[in-house]
Amino acid sequence: MIWWKHNISFRPAFTDRWLCWLLRAGAITAALIMVLILLFLLLEYWPAFQKISPVRFFTDDAWYPLEDQYNLLPMVTGTLYASSGALLLAIPLGIASALFMAFYAPHFIAVVYRRLIELLAGIPSVVFGFWGLTTLLPIINQWEPPGASLLAAILILTLMILPTLALTSYVALTAVPKEYMQAATVLGLSRWGIIYGVVLPAARKGIVAGGLLAAGRAVGETMAVLMVAGNVVQHADSLLAPIRTLTANIALEMAYAMGDHRAVLFVSGLLLLFLVMALTSLAGLLGKEHHG
Amino acid sequence: MVKQDIPMRKLGHPLRDRLVQTAIYLVVLCVSGVFLWILLDLIIGGSALLSWRFLTDVPRDAGRAGGIGSILVSTLLILSITLLVALPVGWSTAILLAEFVPAMSPFGRWVRYSLQVLAGVPSIVFGLFGHAFFSIYLGLGFSILSGGLTLACMLLPILVSTAETGLRAIPDSYRLSAAALGMSRAATLLHLLLPLAAPAWAAGLLLGIGRAAAETAALLFTSGYVDRMPESLMDSGRVLALHIYDLSMNVPGGDASAYASALVLILLLLAINIVAMRLTHFWQHKKLHIR
Amino acid sequence: MVLKTDDSSQSDIPQMEIAPAGCESEGGHAYTLGPLQEGSYCCIPEPVIQVKALSLSYGTKRALNAVTLDIYRGCITALIGPSGCGKTSFLSTINRLTDIIPECRVDGTIYFEDKNIFDVSCNVQQLRKQIGMVFQKPTPFPLSIQRNIALPLREHGVSQRAEIEVISERVLRDVGLWNEVCDRLDAPALSLSGGQQQRLCIARALALDPEILLMDEPCSALDPIASSVVEDLISRLSGRYTIVIVTHNLAQARRIANYAAFFWVQERERIGHLVEFGHCRDIFETPVHPLTAAYVSGARG
């Protein structure tokens, strides 16, 4: 009982209180960033707000910012076409990949394929754009010049959103309780029957949430589309027409934009922000329901 | 879930099943094929120019000749600033959300929601924000500092979410035992919870670094285009990803250098991945089983 | 002083008697010092904890209503009753673990060393050093055996390595683990069996030299052999420590406890309350309340 005699000093709880305030400071900083973003985007747009009513973004003749024409529609449709096309391709491919990893592949191959997909999810967008520029465009060019086109944008975007789609779908599929599948097997259903009838409906919410997130990613993608889409401001009349997306527009013109032109670019950034926020909020809602 | 879990039945629709199976195999083959094509393309195109001199020389002739030495230094500096700012803010937010704030409190919900929204912001919009706030409002101009701070904002959501998950995964029984032994929260955090959450935190850090290193659009208008060796944090600097973009789009004949740069970037990301995985494994082993 | 024996024929022993020779006195308390011994030991009915009108609620739902009882120094007090009647919650209030349970509100007072523990001036960490707790599921930290004991010791100011080792050896011997683990103190604590882990948790709590040990069904998560080892340890600890133990096992309570508090939960409102408190013998053999009689005979609960 040696230490009975010690004057054992207790550590008072003020370290805890001090710690709490330090942590609070960090958290407030983190939460303020979003507020700051909205604030500063609006601030940059504000001077032009009085002069240019938002309706003009859709009713002006065309996009000639140096001549005070600010029709954003071609860029909006460019973004929409490219993203929708990419989703149309990536969703079936992604789900098929996820099904392969979850149900059709022997364990070793499933692991290898998953590593491959994870590796590809980490490839930067510039590298995808670069590959598209050097390899894909010449191929499309041979078919019909110029190579830079909506098609190229769709293909590159598909490649970019495919890995995350496959991975989120895989997580949704494996989250389906085994009991469902056992019950279906016992009823004599075949493998595809079980998947189509039981697993996919059960995993539907998670897959849709993943799809919405991928859509958000496709809409917000800048560099890759910038490099392969051709960047002509026009409504696409065919798959092989060059287009410009909202994101590419900002990236290209910000360098030399001044005054009102600049303000309009900031507002197109706001538009993008709200669009992506809507998509991710929807995905978040679905995801929350899915995980109860 | 593996193939063995669902037995193949000969009843039902064997033809339909076969068709679906074939379709899925085809898809997987195509996908693997395309991705292997990309990787091979990069390796073949880039290995020609890859050398130690390439890594250390500064770019000459707009990047067609010389190397990427100054680019790598700029990238490193920007990443360092990003981590220096994002880690304390992000990790302290995670600790607060996981340990100190009740789940349903208004403050906690506000912080979480803000971060969730932040996670979805496109990188070009971050670029606009960084330009307006860091470069112009705070007067940092086109600088490494400005770029680093912008990237720090981008990394916050992922750092916070992975760190918070790592802490929440630790069962409450440890916290209750520690409290019953009269340990302060700070001590419980330091000696028990953080070592347990370390692997998850390292994984989140890795994810963040990978994302930051691949970033381009956010840096276009914040850290600039200059490819010289930076001499201070207020100098403009060009990151590797931006260098690839510039070489391929704006510099005719820059393809060879671009290939090599792309290969370097990919290898760098791979290396970070491997190092971090080794690190977490070692840390886990060391902290928990030895005195 | 009451000499506790297993012989129920001594039911007419009055509360206060002269201390038999052989019990050492230190500052008015009678504890056996030194290594644990089997056999007779002393127990003074001197209240060390006085609970007055304690109530507990989770959010708006009241879980426990107006409990008043005394915990006697050196004795084992068993809290018995069906599940859901607030025994564990009551136990958590004694060392103020309810402070960190979300939405939990406590009314009433608990006097420990003549001070209300719910007072603002009460140092909670010091309180928890003096009142140790062992949980139902063994929860050793995912560290080595040595560090499990060293960590709380360092937290409470014991920094000398030699001292820590002495204390560790002492408490590990007390719980009977020393011979089993002395050669692998650096092994992870999670590699021990369930019973060993629980004994390690008890050793960890004992290392802080508490006066009171709170135990929440310490044997229920263990297999029968481990359970009997731990139970044996608990009964040997009494006299030196005051023990409050929640248990579902009536036979266990009968075997080891000096005092018993019987809790019950009202059917409709699901609020727990204390039905009867007294000598363990009395509760089991001559209960006053009909509910108590029904519960201990197995007719209800």
Does residue A71 sit in helix, strand or coil?
coil
pLDDT 10s digits, C16-48 = 333 333 333 333 333 333 344 333 344 557 888
Contact, C190 vs C140, CB < 8 A? Answer: yes
* Closest by Cα among B52, B76, B37, B59 to B257: B59
CA distance A51 to B197: 54
Contact, C6 vs C39, CB < 8 A? Answer: no
Lowest model confidence (mean pLDDT) among A100-114, A173-187, B15-29, C85-99: A173-187
The mean per-residue pLDDT over the stretch A219-247 comes to: 89
Chain A residues whose beta carbon lies within 8 Å of the beta carbon of residue B37: 135
CB burial readout B86-118, b (16+ within 10 A) else e? bbebbbbbbbbbbbbbeeeeeebeebbebbbbb
Predicted local confidence at residue B178, as pLDDT: 92
The residue in chain A having the minimum alpha-carbon distance to the alpha carbon of residue B93 is A27
Lowest model confidence (mean pLDDT) among A137-151, A211-225, B232-246: A137-151
DSSP-assigned beta bridge partners for residue C238: C241
B-contacting residues in A 26-85 (Cβ below 8 Å): 26-37, 40-41, 43-44
**Mapped to the 3 state alphabet, what secondary structure does A82-111 carry?**
HHHHHHHHHHHHHHHHHHHHHHHCCHHHHH
Query: Does C100 contact B181 at a Cβ distance shorter than 8 Å?
Result: no
Does residue C226 sit in helix, strand or coil?
helix
Q: CA torsion, points B67, B69, B72, B73, in degrees to nearest 10?
A: -160
pLDDT 10s digits, B102-135 = 767 888 888 888 888 888 899 999 999 999 999 9
How far is C-alpha B50 from the chain's CA centre? 24
Considering only the beta carbons, identify the residue of A1, A4, A9 that sits closest to C157.
A9
Mean confidence (pLDDT) of chain B: 85
Q: CA torsion, points C248, C250, C251, C256, in degrees to nearest 10?
A: 90
* Closest by Cα among A290, A165, A86 to A282: A290
C-contacting residues in A 9-68 (Cβ below 8 Å): 9-13
Considering only the beta carbons, identify the residue of B3, B7, B119 that sits closest to A104.
B3
pLDDT at A260 over 80: yes
Contact, C287 vs C276, CB < 8 A? Answer: yes
Contact, A209 vs A168, CB < 8 A? Answer: yes
* Closest by Cα among B133, B130, B95, B93 to B110: B93
Q: Which has the higher per-residue pLDDT, C111 or B12?
A: C111
A-contacting residues in B 21-80 (Cβ below 8 Å): 21, 23-25, 27-28, 30-32, 34-35, 37-38, 41-42, 45
The verdict on ipTM greater than 0.95 is no
Prediction pTM value: 0.79
Q: Is A278 on the interface with B (CB under 8 A)?
A: no
Chains that touch C (3 or more CB pairs under 8 A): A, B
Considering only the beta carbons, identify the residue of C124, C157, C166 that sits closest to A8.
C157
CA distance A43 to A201: 46
Query: Does C135 contact B102 at a Cβ distance shorter than 8 Å?
Result: no
Mean confidence (pLDDT) of chain C: 81
DSSP-assigned beta bridge partners for residue C71: C49
With a pLDDT cut of 70, the percent of chain A lying above it is 93
* Closest by Cα among C90, C23, C47 to C240: C23
Chain B residues whose beta carbon lies within 8 Å of the beta carbon of residue C88: none
Q: Residue B171 has which token pair?
A: 């069962």
Beta carbon pairs, A and B, within 8 Å = 274
* Residue C2 banded pLDDT, cuts 50, 70, 90: very low
C-contacting residues in B 182-241 (Cβ below 8 Å): 182-184, 187, 191-192, 196
Lowest model confidence (mean pLDDT) among B167-181, B265-279, C219-233: B265-279
Query: Does C204 contact B174 at a Cβ distance shorter than 8 Å?
Result: no
Q: Which residue has the tokens 């007779």?
A: C40
The mean per-residue pLDDT over the stretch A208-225 comes to: 92
Contact, A260 vs A69, CB < 8 A? Answer: no
Contact, B148 vs B78, CB < 8 A? Answer: yes
The residue in chain C having the minimum alpha-carbon distance to the alpha carbon of residue B173 is C139
The mean per-residue pLDDT over the stretch C173-180 comes to: 89
pLDDT 10s digits, A166-215 = 999 999 999 888 888 888 888 878 888 888 888 888 888 889 999 998 99
Chain B residues whose beta carbon lies within 8 Å of the beta carbon of residue A102: 1
Considering only the beta carbons, identify the residue of C124, C129, C137 that sits closest to B173.
C137
B-contacting residues in A 141-170 (Cβ below 8 Å): 159, 162
Q: CA B213, B218, B220: angle at the middle one, nearest 5?
A: 100
Residue B199: partners with Cβ closer than 8 Å, 6 or more residues away: B166, B280, B281, B283, B284
Chain A residues whose beta carbon lies within 8 Å of the beta carbon of residue C156: 8, 10-11
